[in-house]
Amino acid sequence: MTQTTRSRSESGRGSRSPAGVSFAARLAFDDIWHTFGPGAETLRGVSVTAEPGEVLCLLGPSGSGKTTLLRIAAGIETQTRGRVLLNDREIAGPAVFVPPEKRSIGLVFQDFALFPHYTILDNVRFGLTALSSSEAKREAMTALSRVGLEHHARSFPHILSGGEQQRVALARALAPRPAVLLLDEPFSGLDSRLKDSVRAETLAILRQSRATAIIVTHDAEEAMRMGDRIALLRDGELVQVGPAEELYQRPANLFVAGFFSELNVFDGRCEDGSVDTPLGRFEAPGFAEAEDVTVAVRPTAIEAHEHERDGATEARVISRRFLGDEEILEAAVAGAEMPVRGRIRCGALSPAARDIWLSVRKSDVLVFERRAENA
C-alpha cells in the first residue's frame, strides 16, 4: 500500500487526487488519562499510535474506555492528561485544542446518524460546507460511487437496507477526505448475515481511500478480520497491542488469551520446568522452580479418542453439541473442578461414546504467571 504522511491541510484542496483518496496521517495517543468525575478513571495512561493507512482496532469489553478514546481523538471529549498528535503535530494537549471540524478526522457512528428527511446525496454532502454547491455535489457523488450507491443519490435513507445505510454513513465520513477515519462499532446494528459482507466492503473502501482508520469493537473476531493491528483495552488501560496473530499466539496474560477464545484454566506449580494439570503435564519454560502458574488450554487444542492411548487422560462425556464440521464436547476429568470443554472434529467419537480419552496439542497450551489479574 502506498503511504504518505501528508495531512489534508498540508496537501491543500487544489492538489486533491481525482481518484478521491485521502492523505493518510499518523494519529498518536500519548499517555492519555481521562475521568468523568472524581475517583473513576475512564482511561489510564493509554499510549498507542495508528500508522498512516493502517486499520487499528480498539478492542475491549464494555466500559473499557474505547469510545471515550475515540471521542478524544475526534475532539468531542477532552482528556484530563496527555496529548493527541496528528502527524506529530499536537491537536489536543495541555496548551492546544484544535476544534473537531479542523482536525481532518471523520466519524462514523454506531447508528449511522443519517438525517431521515434528507436525500442520500444531501446526507453525504452535509459536511462539505466549505465547498461551492456544485463542488460539494461532485465530491458527494464521488464518495457515493466509491461505496457503490450513486444510483441511490435521490433516495431517502429509509428505503435502504442496514448495510446500505452503513455505506452512506461511510461515504459521508469519507467525502471531506479525512486523514483519519474513526468508526464506533460500525457493524453492531447490522443483521449477523449482513455483517460479513459489509465488513469486507468497508475494509475494501478503507484501503481504497487510504485513510488511516480506527475501529472500535468489542468483538474479537471482528477485530481480527478488520485490523492490521489490535489494541486491547481493559478498565481504561492498554493491555496489549499488535497484529492479531501476536495477540492470539503470544497473549500478554490470561485476560488477552481469554478475549480471543474460550479457555480451560488450571492452576498449578512449576516443578522441574513443567506443571501438572488434570489434562497432563505441560512444559513451563521461563518459570522459576515452585512458582505458581496458570495453565490455559484452548478447546481447539483438545482431541478425543474412544480408546486409551499414550499420554491421554481418561474422561467421561457430559454433553455434546453438534456444530456442523465440529462439535463442542464437555467432559468430566478427575481433578478438574469444571467440565473440560473441547472443540472436536465431528465423527471423532461415535454417538454412544461415554468413557473416552482426551489428549492435548501441546503447542496450543499457554502458561502464565499466576497474578491477581490472571485469577
Ligand X SMILES: Nc1ncnc2c1ncn2[C@@H]1O[C@H](COP(=O)(O)OP(=O)(O)OP(=O)(O)O)[C@@H](O)[C@H]1O
68 forms part of the interface with ligand X (CB under 6 A): yes
Among the listed residues 1, 18, 62, 99, the single contact to ligand X using CB under 6 A: 62
Pick the closer one to ligand X by CB: 42 or 313. 42
C-alpha cell at 360: 492435548
> To the nearest whole angstrom, how small is the minimum distance from the Cβ of residue 149 to ligand X?
28
Tabulate helix, strand, coil % of the chain (nearest 5).
Answer: 30, 35, 40
Among the listed residues 146, 218, 320, 341, the single contact to ligand X using CB under 6 A: 218
Q: What's the half-sphere exposure (Cβ side, CA atoms, 13 Å) at 97? A: 10
Q: Which stretch binds ligand X (CB under 6 A): 61-69, 170-178, 267-275, 328-336?
A: 61-69
Number of residues that bind ligand X (CB under 6 A): 11
- The phi, psi pair for 121, rounded to 5°, reads -60, -45
Report the distance separating Cα 341 and Cα 346, nearest Å: 15
Amino acid at 312: A
**Collapsing DSSP states into helix, strand and coil, what is residue 184?**
strand
60 forms part of the interface with ligand X (CB under 6 A): yes
Pick the closer one to ligand X by CB: 124 or 182. 182
> To the nearest whole angstrom, how small is the minimum distance from the Cβ of residue 41 to ligand X?
9
Buried b vs exposed e over 100-139: b needs ≥16 C-beta within 10 Å? eeebbbbbbeeebebeeeeebbbbbbbbbeebeeeebbeb
67 forms part of the interface with ligand X (CB under 6 A): yes
Q: Which stretch binds ligand X (CB under 6 A): 59-67, 197-205, 280-288, 291-299?
A: 59-67
- How many of the other CB atoms lie within 10 Å of CB of 12? 9
Pick the closer one to ligand X by CB: 44 or 137. 44
Pick the closer one to ligand X by CB: 46 or 144. 46
Pick the closer one to ligand X by CB: 36 or 115. 36
Pick the closer one to ligand X by CB: 44 or 89. 44
Pick the closer one to ligand X by CB: 68 or 374. 68
Q: Which stretch binds ligand X (CB under 6 A): 57-65, 192-200, 253-261, 274-282?
A: 57-65
- Crossing angle of helices 162-174 and 192-209, in 10° steps, is 20
> To the nearest whole angstrom, how small is the minimum distance from the Cβ of residue 189 to ligand X?
13
- How many of the other CB atoms lie within 10 Å of CB of 256? 23
75 forms part of the interface with ligand X (CB under 6 A): no
Report the distance separating Cα 247 and Cα 294, nearest Å: 18
66 forms part of the interface with ligand X (CB under 6 A): yes
* CB-CB contact of 100 with 146 (8 Å): no
Q: Which stretch binds ligand X (CB under 6 A): 64-72, 101-109, 171-179, 253-261?
A: 64-72
Q: Which of residues 27-56 bind ligand X (CB under 6 A)?
A: 36, 42
Report the distance separating Cα 316 and Cα 332, nearest Å: 5
Among the listed residues 64, 79, 104, 264, the single contact to ligand X using CB under 6 A: 64
63 forms part of the interface with ligand X (CB under 6 A): yes
Pick the closer one to ligand X by CB: 235 or 303. 235
Report the distance separating Cα 132 and Cα 298, nearest Å: 58
- CA angle in degrees (0–180, nearest 5) for 344-347-349: 75
Binding stretches for ligand X (CB under 6 A): 36, 42, 60, 62-68, 218
